[in-house]
């Protein structure tokens, strides 16, 4: 299965926000309606939150915010990742 491009994500968002039916957008863009739904809900089409995909700036922010005493949940919200990723990042920093 081909990966959905950033251009397709932007087109899907633009069309749906303009009021076009999601099923029509899916057919026009060449993806499934489920993919359109995922894009619109934010589950797909944003920055990846999988391990190893945080930017160096995000990693630095996580470490700095933790050093300042912020909770892992608050850090995750601030940086735009999961609490689990914050935990893994901090654990790797302690071990490495």
Q: What is the distance between the alpha carbons of residues 15 and 29, in angstroms, rounded to a whole number? A: 10
Position 31 in a domain: yes
CA 58 to chain centre: 13
Rg of the chain over all Cα atoms, to the nearest angstrom: 17
- Predicted confidence (pLDDT) per residue in 62-92, tens digit: 999 999 999 999 998 888 888 888 999 999 8
What percentage of the chain carries pLDDT values higher than 70?
A: 90
Q: Name the residue among 48, 47, 15 with its Cα closest to residue 31.
A: 15
User: Which residue spans within the chain are E strands per DSSP?
Assistant: none
Domain that residue 16 falls in:
6-41
Q: What is the distance between the alpha carbons of residues 51 and 36, in angstroms, rounded to a whole number? A: 25
pLDDT band of 46, cuts 50, 70, 90? low
49 in Cβ contact with 85 (< 8 Å): yes
Give the number of domains in the chain.
Answer: 2
Does 60 lie in the same domain as 37? no
Position 1 in a domain: no
């Amino acid at each position: 299965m081909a990966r959905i491009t950033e251009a397709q994500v932007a087109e899907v968002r633009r069309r749906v926000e303009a009021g076009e039916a999601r099923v029509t957008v899916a057919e026009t863009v060449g993806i499934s309606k489920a993919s359109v739904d995922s894009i619109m809900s934010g589950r797909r089409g944003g920055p990846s939150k999988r391990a190893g995909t945080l930017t160096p700036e995000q990693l630095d922010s996580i470490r700095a915010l933790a050093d300042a005493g912020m909770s892992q949940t608050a850090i995750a919200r601030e940086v735009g990742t999961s609490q689990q990723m914050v935990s893994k990042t901090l654990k790797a920093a302690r071990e490495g």
